[in-house]
A and B are shown apart, each in its own frame.
Chain A
């Protein structure tokens, strides 16, 4: 089988690695979101100590902030679920490619049993419907020393077509999964933006305070740090998705598996 097909196999495994990395990052996002909640609770405690009208509005702002992780939680779970689904499709492709690689070996074995007059030195590829049809056509026209060999080739070609069709289905599913993952990331990022916005409100509100201003300043700068961390993680997921999308497009337009 051509080296290009082997390359596709390795490329698909690279996407799998991205899928696993996305899963890892999703779990770190959960702890980031928990950090935000702890910070907000700390804000509520600080604001309660003030006891004035300003204290009341700071409590409200911090309480809103502490609810954000609750809003993010289902999004994070969806992100995780979607990544697992994508990984399953990638494994599906990987398995089908392995099956095709094995079947290609069998075709060559049968050819050598048939004294090489079936493939006739040509490398017909089992990784494209065209190549498979060519093998079937040749099987119908070339004399075989035994009918078993011919009918076995037919079975192998038929099952290989199913493998290629499955690869196509999985490729399309992964493309859809990537779009969904990107949408999820946008929604999570929006929550980070809201957290930063609440932080600046807390900053404005606390600037009128006579005492205790510094604890709110550090609260605001910590919120900013957490949101930056969140955005960095989301950026690295986006990078991995872009990389996976590139590989997928190459596979789809490679004239292999067609």
Chain B
């Protein structure tokens, strides 16, 4: 597992933790993000059970685990939240934020621990960590992947954490943390977005929201970070994308596209 400081100014830091070389091959690679501000920490998408020890090992390089005050789950997937029980087992005083509709579902990851889950309203909310003016905004990203889904915007760092939006399933020899060639990066994102996102309308609304925030970095939960000109390129590409397709985009609504129908013939 590697960690890298992607923003640091006046005691306010963003750290990406990922590119786990020790993980089992069958586990999809994930990026976890740590915000440290005024000696308090916030974890964005804490990750799965299997990689927990590697993630927390990296976290301790930057902050004592006790000082992590907020855990944020962009949505309900196991690669995001199956480690929650282990986090709350070690850190006693931590709030976990997720969409209000996922509270009862994420509680299933409890493993005997009571996870203090705080529901985020549909329109989003703000939270504060540290003593400085470090506010983090939960930005709605519903139906852009999960039905209850958020991004996180940090106005101080101008970083937008996008969860599974912008996710890329990279080959194992891809080691860059940042997207270096946007055009060749599309091949790693396209399939994921078309299949794992359900609503083109909501995705375009999210793009408009993201443009209004004007981030200097967009950080996804899988793949590489968009920075500088690649932020705009990514948003343009996303805006033009039609999502919500299975069957490679062909005849998705055809009633006969079903094993049962074919078998009946």
Given contacts A155-B65, A155-B91, A156-B90, A149 and B53 within 8 Å (CB-CB): no
Question: Which of B56-64, B123-131, B164-172, B191-199 has 4 or more CB atoms under 8 Å from chain A?
Answer: B56-64
Q: How far is the CB of A157 from chain B (nearest CB, A)?
A: 10
Q: What separation, in Å, do the CA atoms of A95 and B110 have in the docked complex?
A: 10
The interface bits of chain A over 163-178 (1 if a CB of B lies within 8 angstroms of the residue's CB, else 0) are 1001000000000000
Q: Any chain A CB within 8 A of the CB of B54?
A: yes
Please determine whether B61 and A113 come into contact, CB atoms closer than 8 angstroms: yes
Please determine whether A148 and B53 come into contact, CB atoms closer than 8 angstroms: no
Please determine whether B89 and A99 come into contact, CB atoms closer than 8 angstroms: yes
Please determine whether B89 and A159 come into contact, CB atoms closer than 8 angstroms: yes
Q: Any chain B CB within 8 A of the CB of A55?
A: no
Q: What separation, in Å, do the CA atoms of A199 and B91 have in the docked complex?
A: 64
The interface bits of chain A over 116-152 (1 if a CB of B lies within 8 angstroms of the residue's CB, else 0) are 0000000000000000000000000000001111011
Most chain A Cβ neighbours within 10 Å, of B53, B60, B66, B89: B60
Q: Interface size of B by Cβ–Cβ distance < 8 Å?
A: 21
Q: Any chain B CB within 8 A of the CB of A41?
A: no
Q: Any chain A CB within 8 A of the CB of B28?
A: no
Q: What separation, in Å, do the CA atoms of A159 and B53 have in the docked complex?
A: 15
Q: Any chain A CB within 8 A of the CB of B207?
A: no
Q: Any chain A CB within 8 A of the CB of B213?
A: no
Q: How far is the CB of B130 from chain A (nearest CB, A)?
A: 15
Q: What separation, in Å, do the CA atoms of A99 and B56 have in the docked complex?
A: 13
The interface bits of chain A over 36-50 (1 if a CB of B lies within 8 angstroms of the residue's CB, else 0) are 000000000000000
Please determine whether B64 and A110 come into contact, CB atoms closer than 8 angstroms: no
* Chain A residue at minimum C-beta to C-beta distance from B63: A148
Please determine whether B64 and A102 come into contact, CB atoms closer than 8 angstroms: no
Please determine whether A151 and B64 come into contact, CB atoms closer than 8 angstroms: yes
Please determine whether B111 and A149 come into contact, CB atoms closer than 8 angstroms: no
Q: Any chain A CB within 8 A of the CB of B11?
A: no
Q: How far is the CB of A109 from chain B (nearest CB, A)?
A: 3
Q: What separation, in Å, do the CA atoms of A98 and B49 have in the docked complex?
A: 11
Q: Any chain B CB within 8 A of the CB of A229?
A: no
Q: Any chain B CB within 8 A of the CB of A179?
A: no
Q: Any chain A CB within 8 A of the CB of B135?
A: no
* Chain A residue at minimum C-beta to C-beta distance from B61: A113
Identify A105's interface contact among B53, B62, B65, CB under 8 A.
Answer: B53
User: Which chain A residues border B228 with CB–CB below 8 Å?
Assistant: none
Q: What separation, in Å, do the CA atoms of A219 and B89 have in the docked complex?
A: 60
* Chain B residue at minimum C-beta to C-beta distance from A91: B112
Please determine whether B57 and A155 come into contact, CB atoms closer than 8 angstroms: no
A74-128 residues at the B interface, CB under 8 angstroms: 92, 95-96, 98-99, 102-103, 105-106, 109-110, 113
Please determine whether B62 and A102 come into contact, CB atoms closer than 8 angstroms: no
Identify A99's interface contact among B54, B57, B86, B91, CB under 8 A.
Answer: B86
Please determine whether B112 and A92 come into contact, CB atoms closer than 8 angstroms: yes
User: Which chain A residues border B53 with CB–CB below 8 Å?
Assistant: 102-103, 105-106, 109
B46-98 residues at the A interface, CB under 8 angstroms: 52-54, 56-57, 59-66, 85-86, 89-92
Please determine whether B112 and A95 come into contact, CB atoms closer than 8 angstroms: yes
A17-73 residues at the B interface, CB under 8 angstroms: none
User: Which chain B residues border A159 with CB–CB below 8 Å?
Assistant: 89-90, 92
User: Which chain A residues border B60 with CB–CB below 8 Å?
Assistant: 109-110, 113, 146, 148-149, 152
Q: How far is the CB of B47 from chain A (nearest CB, A)?
A: 13
Q: What separation, in Å, do the CA atoms of A148 and B57 have in the docked complex?
A: 11
B90-137 residues at the A interface, CB under 8 angstroms: 90-92, 111-112
Please determine whether B90 and A110 come into contact, CB atoms closer than 8 angstroms: no
Please determine whether A151 and B56 come into contact, CB atoms closer than 8 angstroms: no
Please determine whether A146 and B66 come into contact, CB atoms closer than 8 angstroms: no
List 11 A–B pairs whose Cβ atoms lie within 8 Å, in order of A's numbering.
Answer: A95-B112, A106-B57, A109-B53, A109-B54, A113-B57, A113-B61, A146-B60, A148-B63, A151-B65, A156-B65, A159-B92
Contacts A152-B56, A159-B92 known; 7 new A-B pairs at CB < 8 A = A95-B112, A99-B85, A99-B111, A102-B53, A102-B86, A152-B65, A155-B66
